[in-house]
Homo-oligomer: A and B are copies of this chain.
Amino acid sequence: MSQNLGELVRGMNVALLTTACPDGSLRSRPMVALEPEPDGTLWFFTREHSSKVEEVEGHEEVNVSYADHPGQRYVSVSGKARPVRDRERMRRLWGPALLAWFPRGLDDPDLALLRVDVDRAEHWDARSGAMVPVAPGRDLQGARG
């Protein structure tokens, strides 16, 4: 049964964002995971002045990983990221869970969003021991499965 991205990452509140540095090396860090948009687009809060924003401005391709070890759920999202400075969208996406990561809240002048447009989503299939395609959005359900 094909599942879409939103269903597969439900309840996973932290994702790992991997970016590429100018020297080709790859770095990761945890991010508060918000619910994907219906088409699979991902949004994250970030600090505008941060190495990850510099890294995506140099190389837009990123990976977003979700890991639920007890549930053996692993999801890999390959996409393109860019910083977005949209205060109205920030207000819509903000939730109290973000306060632990951004204690100054929406008043933080360094707060920004990172938008990730999904090119490929896969999830771990324990039976076959392989990653299998996931349809990013509801409209595409089954299209890549």
Contact = CB atoms under 8 A, between A and B. Distances in A.
Contacts of A29: 74, 76, 122, 124, 131
Contacts of A62: 26
Given A101-B129, A129-B101, A78 B16 contact: no
A88 B14 CA distance: 39
Given A16-B67, A131-B29, A24 B74 contact: no
A115 interface: no
Interface string A103-122: 00000000000000001101
Contacts of A120: 25, 27
B63 A26 contact: yes
Given A14-B67, A24-B59, A27-B122, 19 more contacts: A13-B69, A14-B69, A16-B16, A18-B26, A18-B28, A18-B65, A20-B24, A20-B26, A25-B63, A25-B119, A26-B61, A27-B63, A27-B120, A28-B65, A29-B131, A30-B67, A30-B74, A67-B67, A67-B69
A12 to B, nearest CB: 8
Contacts of A16: 16, 28, 65, 67, 74, 76
